[in-house]
Amino acid sequence: MRNSRTGNMFKETNVVRKQTFADMLESDPNDQQEFSFGFTKTPESSPANHDWLPPPMTWENNSPYNASWDQSSPFSTASSSQTSAFPTPSRDQYSSSPLSKSPWSSHAAPPLHGSYSYTGLIGSLVREEGHIYSLSASGDMLYTGSDSKNIRVWKNQKEFSGFKSNSGLVKAIIIAGGRIFTGHQDGKIRVWKVSGKNPNIHKRIGTLPTVKAYIKSSFNPKNYVEIRRNRNAVWIKHFDAISSLSLSDDKTLLYSASWDRTFKVWRVSDFKCLESIKAHDDAVNSIIAGFDGLVFTGSADGTVKVWRRESQGKGRTKHFFSQTLLKQECAITALVVDPSAIFLYSGSSDGLVNFWERNKFLSHGGILRGHKLAVLCLATAGNLVFSGSADANICVWKRDQENDHICLSVLIGHGGPVKCLAVEDKGASAGGNSQYIVYSGSLDKSVKIWRVTGQVAAAVEPQQHCQMEVFSSDNGES
């Protein structure tokens, strides 16, 4: 069937083979209809068939052109009135432009003389298949997950392939060692691998927990825990949506956080569930494996907690509660550790970003104020921090040598809450400036690509509405 935006023909390839009984025990019978699909050019011009797509979701600004592209610049600030050197096309221009044949649209001119100091929007993707809940970047590949249950794969800003889960919208995606781990609304983790024969095809190689482990655990009454009044369940399975995934530094352990108030620890080598920890009094919204064997969790109960990993001998590990870094009324929505493994950042529903410093025994470093609504996602690269919010904006923060943070810029372009972020470090430009590519997914059903440099552009003033509060370590007063 054809995609009317791209003019490409979908070539659906069923990757399900006849299974042995042993295979069935390692997989999930509910996932047998999962398939991978690739894209091939075709000269045909027959009408498109969209029966494979779910009904469009409603959104207040459901048109992809309702985003702030009518601003004077693809990169906009609250105080800037500069006219951009890269004019933004109108909706009518899109309908007649060759760009309308592709879901990607370009918003920036190519670099001149090998130097590119432009900061702002460089590309957009809009697909009417639901809100974007998760994305992950690896090299030139971008994986996006939505409530359509599809995981799309993009290569060099072009639709490359995709794969579909039979149940459970995609809440989290991480990539490690040639494997793709996806966390779903149905409480399951699915593991995928690129086919060695055809890179367009992704095969599901496991579901966590495996049916074999689930059946084995169900026979032992000691493996049941109370999840609600008069209702018990096997401890190795999440009974609510998975909200976040993270891998340990050595890539041997996978951590999953869930709205069921627990986080679980999985061994990557054999997909075995090693631990299940009741971590919070409300939904666990984020988990991150940090430094020094520490794991950090953030919850809707308003707390950020620290868990310590300890070796138990014979290759076994166990996690113990260490301390509570933050306790507040507002929900914790996102956590991230910077690449240098020195700073921990948390975002919350009050629009604030708190941070702690490893070198000061996880003392509170300060608060970043840049959003009017809840912070929904965080990402870091180099000495930059990116915060996406329900106010549809992305704040770019720069940390200096004194560990002070300034807001370099605010990326404006989404027409709905920014739900997920991913950043790629592109190294230094010819002028010596650090360059980053930022991917943002939103509930406006779009994915946008931004180019960000490590310094304030000449035509852009620092944001006056973004502030940082620093607290002394003695009395905690600002």
Q: What is the mean pLDDT of each run of 10 residues along the chain (478 residues)?
A: 40 41 49 52 33 32 33 33 34 34 48 59 82 90 88 86 84 91 94 90 92 91 84 91 95 96 95 95 97 96 96 84 97 96 96 95 94 97 96 95 91 95 83 86 93 63 52 40
Q: If DSSP codes are grouped into helix, strand and coil, which group holds residue 216?
A: helix
Res 296: pLDDT: 98
Single pTM value for the model: 0.77
Q: Name 443's Cβ contacts closer than 8 Å, sequence gap at least 6.
A: 59, 131, 132, 416, 417, 419
Res 412: pLDDT: 94
Q: Name 7's Cβ contacts closer than 8 Å, sequence gap at least 6.
A: 41, 42, 101
Are 472 and 377 contacting, i.e. CB atoms less than 8 angstroms apart? no
Q: How far apart are CA 166 and CA 169, in angstroms?
A: 9
Q: How far apart are CA 314 and CA 51, in angstroms?
A: 53
In terms of Cβ atoms closer than 10 Å to its own Cβ (0-12, 13-18, 19+), residue 17 is exposed
DSSP state of 66: G
In terms of Cβ atoms closer than 10 Å to its own Cβ (0-12, 13-18, 19+), residue 85 is exposed
* Closest-CA residue to 410 (of 128, 132, 68): 68
Res 208: pLDDT: 94
Are 418 and 393 contacting, i.e. CB atoms less than 8 angstroms apart? yes
* Angle, CA of 469, 474 and 475, to the nearest 5°: 70
Q: Name 14's Cβ contacts closer than 8 Å, sequence gap at least 6.
A: 35
Q: What are the angstrom distances between the C-alpha of 8 and each of 2, 43, 45, 130?
A: 6, 9, 10, 20
Res 139: pLDDT: 82
Res 51: pLDDT: 31
What is the number of other CB atoms lying within 10 angstroms of the CB of residue 265? 22
Q: If DSSP codes are grouped into helix, strand and coil, which group holds residue 22?
A: helix
Per-residue exposure over 361-385, b if at least 16 CB sit within 10 Å of its own CB, e if not? ebebbbbbbbbeebbbbbbbbbbbb
Are 255 and 289 contacting, i.e. CB atoms less than 8 angstroms apart? yes
Q: If DSSP codes are grouped into helix, strand and coil, which group holds residue 91?
A: helix
Residue type at position 124: S
Q: What are the angstrom distances between the C-alpha of 126 and each of 129, 132, 298?
A: 9, 10, 31
DSSP state of 21: H
Res 426: pLDDT: 84
Are 193 and 205 contacting, i.e. CB atoms less than 8 angstroms apart? yes
DSSP state of 107: -
What is the number of other CB atoms lying within 10 angstroms of the CB of residue 316? 11
Q: Given the structure tokens 């032992």, which residue do they identify? A: 220
Q: How far apart are CA 122 and CA 85, in angstroms?
A: 13
Q: How far apart are CA 379 and CA 421, in angstroms?
A: 6
Strand partners, 428: 434
Residue type at position 220: N
Residue type at position 271: F
